[in-house]
Structure 1
Amino acid sequence: MSRKKPGQAIRREAEQAPSRRWLALLGNGLAAVVLVLALTGVYQLLDWLRDPHAWPVREVQIEGEFRHLRHEQIAEATRDMLRHGFFGVEVGTVQQRLAKLPWVAEAAVRRVWPDGMQLRIQEQVPVARWGEDGLLNARGELFQPENVAEFAALPRLAGPISLRERVIRRYIEFRQALQQIGRHPAAIELDARRAWRVELDNGMQIRLGRQEEARRMALFIDIYPRVFAAAPQPARGVDMRYSNGFAVHWKTAGTPRRHEG
């Protein structure tokens, strides 16, 4: 049996090394070409999918009951759907635009295969006014539509915007408490000094001051049947800020009359 000499093996490996390098370079080149072709194909596919002429939006479904939200506002907020087509439209952007409309409480947008879009919109339901140009929904969220004046019959709440939740809580508490005497709050205000003022549905003004407003309201409710319900003349207001009584301002001319508690 013949045995290869070490020098012969080294020479043969040296002769094969260039061919291996060329094969490696050729393989890498082919891989690069395949990658470029694949990326080009993906890009062309994405470009085709974004083509509004190839994939138009033909149907827009709008779900929701609207009393104040105008269809013109919805059309303006969703114009991109028709311009960019089924795949090209950015659903999140359209949803954000709808949510920014003053009368929109919640909005959801989704694609409906093959050429439709579905809009689910929940309209705001105002339960009270806030200041001069705002409305509050049942969650206490503030929104500011253009037609606030149409809701003059709603209760009016006012106060520092940072204390809005506190004002809303007091309104709910006072409304429930005043049901005992058949009245409800038409307005509640927390002024800059953090003093409370309540106006009832019969026009009576109640001044509760800065402290113990809940206790003072409870005292007013307790004295209402005896002092005000059967009074021969209506009262303009009552001041509950006294430690041992209250003062009544009657609608007829005269000075406030104080009652000891």
Structure 2
Amino acid sequence: MDESASDKSPKVSKYPFLREHAAGISFLLVVLLLIGFFLYTTVSWMWDEQRLPLSKMVIQGDLHHVTTEDVQHSLAKLGHLGTFMSQDVDSLQQAMLTIPWVAHASIRKQWPDTINVFLTEYHAEAIWNGNELLNKQGQIFNGDIGQLQGSRVKLYGPKGTNEQVLELWEQINPEFHQLGLNISSVVLNERGAWQIILGNGVRLELGKDALHERIARFISLYKQLGTKADKVSYVDLRYDTGAAVGWLSDEESKQES
């Protein structure tokens, strides 16, 4: 075979598919680039604090102690709020829970720039150790005692006994109310002994054991005292039977009156 003839034979392309569909592939690449650019600009816009800030706040809930200023101060601790898309709801919720009177917080973002804040306050059932508060479940919280409306029983006890002391007060309080007596304080000391202070100033020493039996003994005694009950200073019930009664002096009795 002539070598020159073989050199003149037509050449076959290695990429016939690319040559035939070059225009379509180019168009597809352009479309993908446009889509990518659109997504990039959209995400950038949604995360731009200047274009999509969280600028409105709606506070809801049956609130008696928490103020708008409390919420604003709590949010200020976050530094600054992000955009509608970037701001984390959990961090907003945790910020709300740092407000002393807040028991529960629910946060919702409303398009395009609003934070909806729903708050539930603690209800103060008692004052604990003079400077803290207890709710109905015996949980300690640090609400401002000066904001309380009306009086609260004062409970005292070692660390970790808050639920125990509250439970005893809840059990015995109705019994004293039936006598027209108000419990001012319930004290559990470090040795595990109990003491009750009534609203009229009478002090009950109950000791460690048989608390309910000793309280029943006091109630029976109080009913027998009649008008003399106004002159009682203290009642010591730390006996198997009976009680020791301390009396106010005539001068102290007059001052009490």
Alpha-carbon RMSD across the aligned residues, in angstroms, is 3.2
Shift of 1:180: 2.2
Whether contact under 8 Å (1:128, 1:136) holds in the other structure is yes
* CA deviation map 1:62-84 (0-9, x unaligned): 11233322322201223459731
Amino acid at match of 1:203: G
Q: For 2:37 and 2:217, how far apart are their aligned partners in 1?
A: 80
Whether contact under 8 Å (2:194, 2:207) holds in the other structure is yes
Whether contact under 8 Å (2:195, 2:207) holds in the other structure is yes
Which residue number in structure 2 is paired with residue 201 of structure 1? Answer: 199
Spell out the pairing of 1:132-211 with structure 2 (5 A cutoff): 132-145=130-143, 147-149=144-146, 151=148, 153-211=151-209
Shift of 1:85: 2.2
Which residue number in structure 2 is paired with residue 66 of structure 1? Answer: 63
Structure having the higher helix fraction is: 1
Q: SS at the partner of 1:215?
A: helix
Spell out the pairing of 1:92-131 with structure 2 (5 A cutoff): 92-131=90-129
Give the total of aligned pairs: 228
Q: For 1:40 and 1:81, how far apart are their aligned partners in 2?
A: 32
Which residue number in structure 1 is paired with residue 50 of structure 2? Answer: 53
Whether contact under 8 Å (2:59, 2:68) holds in the other structure is no
Which residue number in structure 1 is paired with residue 235 of structure 2? Answer: 238
Distance 1:118 1:134, change over 3 A: same
Distance 1:209 1:57, change over 3 A: same
Long gaps (5+) in structure 1 = 1-17, 20-33, 254-261
Q: For 2:51 and 2:230, how far apart are their aligned partners in 1?
A: 77
Shift of 1:39: 8.0
Amino acid at match of 1:78: L
Normalization by structure 1: what TM-score?
0.75
Distance 1:232 1:170, change over 3 A: closer
Whether contact under 8 Å (1:107, 1:119) holds in the other structure is yes
Amino acid at match of 2:75: T
Q: SS at the partner of 2:243?
A: strand
Which residue number in structure 2 is paired with residue 7 of structure 1? Answer: none
Distance 1:143 1:171, change over 3 A: same
Distance 1:164 1:108, change over 3 A: same
Which residue number in structure 1 is paired with residue 254 of structure 2? Answer: none
Normalization by structure 2: what TM-score?
0.76
Q: For 1:73 and 1:39, how far apart are their aligned partners in 2?
A: 44
Distance 1:187 1:52, change over 3 A: same
Shift of 1:232: 6.7
Distance 1:238 1:42, change over 3 A: farther
Q: For 2:234 and 2:152, how far apart are their aligned partners in 1?
A: 21
Q: Which runs of 4+ in 1 moved over 6 A?
A: 34-41
Whether contact under 8 Å (2:65, 2:147) holds in the other structure is no
Q: SS at the partner of 1:69?
A: coil
Which residue number in structure 1 is paired with residue 3 of structure 2? Answer: none
Matched, 1:77 2:74: yes
Shift of 1:38: 8.1
Distance 1:141 1:233, change over 3 A: closer
Answer with 61-70 or 129-138: which moved more. Answer: 61-70
Whether contact under 8 Å (2:235, 2:243) holds in the other structure is yes
* CA deviation map 1:168-227 (0-9, x unaligned): 100101112212212121100110000000111111111110111111111111221112
